[in-house]
Structure 1
Amino acid sequence: MPDSLSSPPPRVLRVAIPSPLRRLFDYRASHEAPPGGWRPGIRVRVPFGRRQVVGVVVACAARSDLAPDKLKPVEAWLDAEPLPEDWLWLCQFTARYYQHSLGDTLHQAMPVLLRQGRPLAGRMRERWQALTEPGTNDPRLKRAPRQAELLAMLRQHPHGLPTQAIVAQGYSREQLTTLVEKQLAVREEIPLTAAEPATEQLLAEPALPLNREQAQALAAIHERLDAFHPCLLHGVTGSGKTEIYLQLIEAVVARGRQALLLVPEIGLTPQTLARFRSRFRVPVVALHSGLTDNERLDAWEAVASGRAPIVIGTRSAIFTPLARPGAIIVDEEHDGSFKQQEGLRYHARDLAVARAKHHGIPLVLGSATPSLESLYHAERGNYRHLRLTRRASRHAPARLELTDLRGRPRQGGLIPPVIEAIRETLAAGHQVLVFINRRGFAPTLACHACGWLADCDSCDARMTLHRQPPMLACHHCDKRRPVPDACPSCGSADLRPLGSGTERTEETLAGLFPKVPVHRIDRDSTRRRDAFEQTLAQVRRGEPCLLVGTQMLAKGHHLPHVTLVVVVNADAGLYASDFRALEHSAQLLVQVAGRAGRAAHPGRVLVQTLHTDDPHLRLLAEHGYDALAEQLLAERRAAALPPYRFLALLRLESPREDATISLGREAAAMLRGWIGEHAPDVHCLGPVPAPMERRQNRYHVQLLLSAGRRSQLHAACARLTAWLEASPGARRVRWSLDVDPQTLA
């Protein structure tokens, strides 16, 4: 980059290209430079192999290691001004920390239309304003009564009206242009996401009164609004964390700053947006996977330009550039959906910490069941620990009641005492939530004569039986096949579903309670746009009904009329092989239990299990999540597991089992030799088969790195990726490195 205006223009541009290669590519700067000169952050169109791609200039230099005649020229520049500096910094940090290609990181972090070369500019809309004062009678309209009526309407809106609002009142565009020709009105183009004209009132409705704990927590966050101030807001379900977010954002926006709120699921976005938009008079934009490409670019540009002071989004919204950053909030910070599991494997919560520190702004991590990592940081004093122990309603959170499944008949996975509790709750006019974290009708189909099971041909997994529509489906590779009429092994027609999924439980409940509506909420039933929100809107009317759903229902939804929650099977997640399984299952149980008794009536939670004497489950039921988390932290410390050590997981996969294992052994041998000389604190474990060794007809092998210091772990990861990129064997095997993995599956 030139040191001064008199410095010669750069001859070489170092460009990040969307490719898996962890390097920059040198190009010859074109004679026609952008108006402000060549600077990092400008997008360019460049030749790459046999195609043209959109890359981002990362550095400018006077010379290259390549000979000048070997450098390809830049075809065109796409931005007069660089992309936002804070966005470029975050992408560079992300690529370094997660050992990922910078070009691919930049590519993934920008909206699709920017990747394709579209200018960073939001769409425009027309707005029409009257030029004369109310009450003025213009003789030019004496014979045009509809134009006079239109002008009178425009006068009632001194800040103007968009075309759509005017046409909706029965007026035409021709009438509008005639008023402009007569110099009685004016037309202007404004961004689609433009802010409404400023008013003295920031709030459209008053803030709710805070109880003592809420007020103390908010005051603690307010103490340092101009500095990096990470806070763990640890509040029981229904304790009013969202109201604290709203009042913090009010203070931030009043100072002319912007606030970013991350939520874990797209399903939470509509209700959160509705609450924030009803509270504030300023624009509140959303960023999530349900937007069209044009909508995403509009929102991204509105935030980057500073017109939108409040941003609500899911995981990828962490990459939204903020013109005036003021605060970052991560709601349900423990949730696993903040971790990207494919490609660029970042964790949005951890990037929020890094970004808040970079900007020097407050960070709030909110949860009723904080992750063990966040509790560890709070325990060490790295985060301020703010507790909310009381619900906004007068009822305490419902306790878990363990119900023994052993030796009892089941209907749709439910035992008779639980069915009776459901009957009593419905008779009292309340609603029931039945939680079963398995979609489909049954986990698999079996032959009662010979024991045949419906296995997937491509994975080490059973195929799930579905009834709507009838089929066998693998939930790992998405392979589907018809339900057989007879056993493929012995020819018997006695094929029976084993276990229960959401469809079977729904069918059972519909048969037991034919006069009560049953709403099933899972990934299959909510594929249609807005289907989830429409179902929840029906439930919130308050009539007695049954909700059957997966963890989509467990996350943050306010269901005021639910007084009974039934967990069909608590054992599925408790005894998985992953070391985080117990933590994640406990969080899920507490979160789903938090849907009960949030309003006028107390709640009850029945947890069906085959292991009522399990010490961890009993500790959770009798003393709550905090007591279990304390014990799990002690166990992690003894076992040298996160958060007391840091992990990175190398995943290898190939259609050839021998190629995968061979590369894993070579990588482990190289790494152990390097560790012995350079990073003795790093442990290399494996290679070993993945928990599901064969998936989509590819064999999966893993290599686990563990270290007590991040610096040594990252040094080992950098050595490993450099070796893999140079290894001929790695060209025949797909590999990926996951820093801070949230699951070993």
Structure 2
Amino acid sequence: MSFCYVRVALDYPRSALYDYCWALPLQPLPGMLVQVQFRCRQTVGLVIEVVDTTNVPLNKLRDVQNACINCPPLNKELLQLISFAASYYQYSHGEVALLALPRALRDAARWPKLFAQKIIYRLTESGRDKLPDILPARATGARRLAKAFFRTELLSSADVRSLYSKAAVVLEHWKDRGWVQMQLCSAIESLKMGITHPIYEQQSTNIISSLNQGKGPNLNDEQYAAVEAIDAARSFIPYVLYGVTGSGKTEVYLHGLAALFIRQPDAQALVMVPEINLAPQFEAVLRERFSSWPSTACVTLHSSLADGERTRNWLAAHIGGARIILGTRMAVFASLPRLALIIVDEEHESAYKQQEGLCYSARDLAVWRAKQLGIPIVLGSATPSLETWWHACQRCHTTLVLSRRAVGDAVLPRVRLIDMTIEKQVGHYRSGELSLSLVQSLRDCLERGEQSLVFLNRRGYAPVLTCSACGWVINCSRCSAYLVLHKIEQRMRCHHCGGESRIPQTCPACGNVDLAPLGFGTQRIEEALSALVPNARVLRIDADNTKRKGSVNTLLSEVHAGDIDILVGTQMIAKGHNFKRVTLVGVLNSDAALFSHDFRAGERLFSQLIQVSGRAGRTGVRSEVLIQTKYVQHPLYASLERYDYVGFADAALAERRDAHLPPFVFQALLRASAHSLDNALRFLNAASAILYTIPGAECVTRYDPVPLNIVKVMHVHRAQLLLESTSRIALQRTMRIWVPQLHILKGVYRWSIEVDPLNI
């Protein structure tokens, strides 16, 4: 092999690639993982390019120390995606490339163990015939092990240990009788054979139980037309699957996947969901539908997975052993050599936009990746984002419409507004959040033996604890925010920095002992409902009582089993759940978003209300949605009562066009964090001044630096500078010159760039 050089991407916030000498006895390839020395420490990088010459003096060049030969290189299409994301979002190649890798691959010391040979157990034909008959009913562990073998035929040593603690003794017994075979193979070989965490026990009842062997409920004409269109695509076509809640978008996804695998048995598909808590039920549906299909292993990719499981799933996708990759926004960077279809469920969700660190939009990158590969992409939603809807109106995207619910006799629930300015308040909650009409409807629903859902997107007991004598309010000492009362835990908590303190017994300002909660959170609503509807079984689901792994599925199982009468929760229960017994939805405190300074607040509120309304009436039972508001004449509520998303979207787009807001302009946001607000603003003013020196920057509008709404978090003050242009090309061209010059500015703790920001 001839002597050469490689350009390596490192996880360092500068855009340059770093040249190294290649002196290893193997052929260097773009996409290889390598171990190099950088600034006196060992680190892992990604080879982007192999070159014959370098401009770096030879006496300053270092050698590549090691290469991960067991892991096949990333393909050129993924390297192009990394390059585009780095360029568009103004980050270095390394910051993007290393984000795409699981943590184990970023540590060279773990490579030998990661790719070591493993023991694999295979079920024989004799074992498949004999095991069902010889296992006694009381041998639950052995039966669980056998059940896993019947499902997948191949199990790793880690899998069998997780299934049964005494598996080694049992497997030795089965091996002697010829029922299982044991063999050694590398991790990569096991992934090629389909050993991709195949063990699956149904933990949630929130699935479509009738799915099996690629056959599901019969499609209606709209669903069938959508599946036909997706299956007919042989090139890049972005489909907007616009369907009302309960219209069977999931069934369209599943039939589209089945059609793909029939046509291309070795193809891969990427299915993205906005939140981690939606992944288990979607995984259950996918596994049940495709459990008997050969070579259709499904793996998940999200941040809650343990390092080992995430690494194994990523490698399974990278090798091609996994056909369906289900994940959150990070999955858009997964290595998928045979990717043929991308599905983005609930594409409007802001969770697809990373808000910290590398700020990227997974939905937008998914569209770019589909265009790069020339494959179809499906963007599904009952309320598409206005950017996506604008593209559909401009014929850049193809719209597939599902206008009615999939279950024949199921109709959308009736929306009724409760005017809180004239409604009589209930109980001793004088600032009451629960109206008489809503409470009576909850009681009537209970008498009919039906379930109801109360939605309040505010966790805790009360957002403020105040003194009734002097008006003192307890603040967070580290943030410019109030501490939230969590009565059950007897703590005051900051929802920004996570700080906690005890509930004060007296007012520190005047000594008054009469401290009162102001406002309502889910804990207080749960308490109020237990008193106002005493016979009801009330359950609360929010981030406070679902911290343990699997706790969400456990609580949802109670709802699906009919053990709960009233479900209280935040946005965690507002979307993606098929509550078959829910016939009443109550919405509290929705007015706050109507007059927000954020121009996207109305869009988010409309989407949120449509989603939570869709939890009711999914099986044909007459249902109702009650929304408490002081503004019954607001146009947003008028559109909501008619389920008129098109009318709402057209009006909102007209407003944005007149106000010169996205999608009619393109924006970028520079945020600065410093130990004082003056330092942050000084940095942003200096950054703004640099723009005047850049040729062509006159096409970019720069606004004055301003503090963030929550200006201080963890003793750090934050401010922002907004850039805007009617030309995306002009904005990008300016930023490519501007951003590198920001590295020379001093005086701030941290700064970051966000292109196409969602929260301003």
Name the TM-score, length of structure 2 as normaliser: 0.88
Q: Give 1:580 deviation, angstroms.
A: 0.6
Match of 1:45 among 27, 35, 42: 35
Match of 1:295 among 284, 309, 312: 309
Distance 1:494-1:317 versus aligned 2 partners, 3 A rule: same
Q: Report whether the alignment pairs 1:743 with 2:743.
A: no
Number of the residue aligned with 1:268? 278
2:703 partner letter: L
Number of the residue aligned with 2:24? 32
Match of 2:494 among 467, 470, 474: 474
CA distance in 1 between counterparts of 2:379 and 2:129 reads 54
Alignment of 1:398-413 (within 5 A): 398-406=413-421, 408-410=424-426, 411=429, 413=433
Q: Report whether the alignment pairs 1:217 with 2:226.
A: yes
Q: Give 1:167 deviation, angstroms.
A: 8.6
CA deviation vs aligned residue, 1:607-649 (integer Å, no higher than 9, x gap): 1112222233333334522211110000011111111111111
Q: Give 1:130 deviation, angstroms.
A: 4.8
Alignment of 1:391-540 (within 5 A): 391-393=405-407, 394-406=409-421, 408-410=424-426, 411=429, 413-540=433-560
Distance 1:270-1:134 versus aligned 2 partners, 3 A rule: closer
CA distance in 2 between counterparts of 1:193 and 1:620 reads 50
CA distance in 1 between counterparts of 2:566 and 2:174 reads 53
* More deviation, 451-460/202-211: 202-211
Asked whether the 8 Å contact 1:436–1:502 carries over to 2, the reply is yes
Q: Report whether the alignment pairs 1:230 with 2:238.
A: yes
Asked whether the 8 Å contact 1:194–1:302 carries over to 2, the reply is no
CA distance in 1 between counterparts of 2:406 and 2:397 reads 25
2:305 partner letter: L
2:9 partner letter: A
* More deviation, 531-540/617-626: 617-626
Number of the residue aligned with 1:250? 258
CA distance in 2 between counterparts of 1:264 and 1:64 reads 43
Number of the residue aligned with 1:695? 713
Number of the residue aligned with 1:363? 377
CA distance in 1 between counterparts of 2:614 and 2:391 reads 25
Q: Report whether the alignment pairs 1:344 with 2:358.
A: yes
* More deviation, 439-448/653-662: 653-662
Alignment of 1:56-95 (within 5 A): 56-79=46-69, 81-95=72-86
2:242 partner letter: H
RMSD over equivalenced CA pairs, Å: 2.7
Asked whether the 8 Å contact 2:192–2:319 carries over to 1, the reply is no
Asked whether the 8 Å contact 1:653–1:734 carries over to 2, the reply is yes
Q: Report whether the alignment pairs 1:17 with 2:10.
A: yes
For the residue of structure 2 that corresponds to 1:726, the secondary structure is coil
Q: Give 1:477 deviation, angstroms.
A: 1.4
Number of the residue aligned with 1:142? none
Q: Give 1:56 deviation, angstroms.
A: 1.0
Q: Report whether the alignment pairs 1:126 with 2:120.
A: yes
For the residue of structure 1 that corresponds to 2:473, the secondary structure is coil
Match of 1:586 among 585, 601, 606: 606
CA deviation vs aligned residue, 1:537-558 (integer Å, no higher than 9, x gap): 1111134511100001112111
Q: Give 1:656 deviation, angstroms.
A: 2.1
Number of the residue aligned with 1:547? 567
Number of the residue aligned with 1:195? 194
Asked whether the 8 Å contact 1:465–1:497 carries over to 2, the reply is yes
* More deviation, 499-508/248-257: 248-257
Match of 2:335 among 321, 336, 359: 321
Q: Give 1:222 deviation, angstroms.
A: 2.2
2:249 partner letter: K
Distance 1:61-1:500 versus aligned 2 partners, 3 A rule: same
Asked whether the 8 Å contact 1:130–1:158 carries over to 2, the reply is no
Q: Give 1:85 deviation, angstroms.
A: 3.0
1:499 partner letter: G
1:277 partner letter: R
CA deviation vs aligned residue, 1:225-251 (integer Å, no higher than 9, x gap): x21011000000000000000000001
CA distance in 2 between counterparts of 1:563 and 1:131 reads 50
CA deviation vs aligned residue, 1:109-160 (integer Å, no higher than 9, x gap): 1111111124475984422455989999xxxxxxxxxxxx99xx99x97995
Match of 2:586 among 556, 560, 566: 566
Distance 1:160-1:406 versus aligned 2 partners, 3 A rule: closer
Q: Report whether the alignment pairs 1:726 with 2:744.
A: yes
Name the TM-score, length of structure 1 as normaliser: 0.90
Structure 1 residue ranges without an equivalent (≥5) = 137-148
Q: Give 1:680 deviation, angstroms.
A: 3.2
CA distance in 2 between counterparts of 1:193 and 1:242 reads 28
Distance 1:130-1:372 versus aligned 2 partners, 3 A rule: closer
Asked whether the 8 Å contact 2:191–2:315 carries over to 1, the reply is no
CA distance in 2 between counterparts of 1:243 and 1:135 reads 35
Number of the residue aligned with 1:143? none
Q: Give 1:667 deviation, angstroms.
A: 1.2
For the residue of structure 1 that corresponds to 2:743, the secondary structure is helix
* More deviation, 233-242/118-127: 118-127
The higher radius of gyration belongs to 1
CA distance in 2 between counterparts of 1:170 and 1:38 reads 42
1:259 partner letter: A
2:190 partner letter: P
Q: Give 1:743 deviation, angstroms.
A: 0.9
CA distance in 1 between counterparts of 2:227 and 2:477 reads 55
Q: Report whether the alignment pairs 1:630 with 2:640.
A: no
CA distance in 2 between counterparts of 1:574 and 1:283 reads 45
Distance 1:277-1:122 versus aligned 2 partners, 3 A rule: farther
Number of the residue aligned with 2:289? 279
2:411 partner letter: A
Asked whether the 8 Å contact 1:122–1:193 carries over to 2, the reply is no
Number of the residue aligned with 2:732? 714
CA distance in 1 between counterparts of 2:79 and 2:167 reads 45
Q: Give 1:185 deviation, angstroms.
A: 5.7
Asked whether the 8 Å contact 2:24–2:64 carries over to 1, the reply is no
1:27 partner letter: Y
Distance 1:166-1:294 versus aligned 2 partners, 3 A rule: closer
CA distance in 1 between counterparts of 2:395 and 2:594 reads 30
Asked whether the 8 Å contact 1:263–1:313 carries over to 2, the reply is yes
Distance 1:203-1:174 versus aligned 2 partners, 3 A rule: closer
Q: Give 1:716 deviation, angstroms.
A: 1.6
Identity among equivalent pairs (%)? 39
Q: Give 1:717 deviation, angstroms.
A: 1.6
Distance 1:122-1:607 versus aligned 2 partners, 3 A rule: farther
CA distance in 1 between counterparts of 2:419 and 2:392 reads 36
Asked whether the 8 Å contact 2:411–2:620 carries over to 1, the reply is no
1:276 partner letter: L
CA distance in 1 between counterparts of 2:50 and 2:169 reads 55
Asked whether the 8 Å contact 1:123–1:192 carries over to 2, the reply is no
Number of the residue aligned with 2:674? 654
For the residue of structure 1 that corresponds to 2:364, the secondary structure is helix
Q: Give 1:78 deviation, angstroms.
A: 2.1
Number of the residue aligned with 1:141? none
Asked whether the 8 Å contact 2:274–2:351 carries over to 1, the reply is yes
For the residue of structure 1 that corresponds to 2:317, the secondary structure is helix
Q: Give 1:531 deviation, angstroms.
A: 0.6
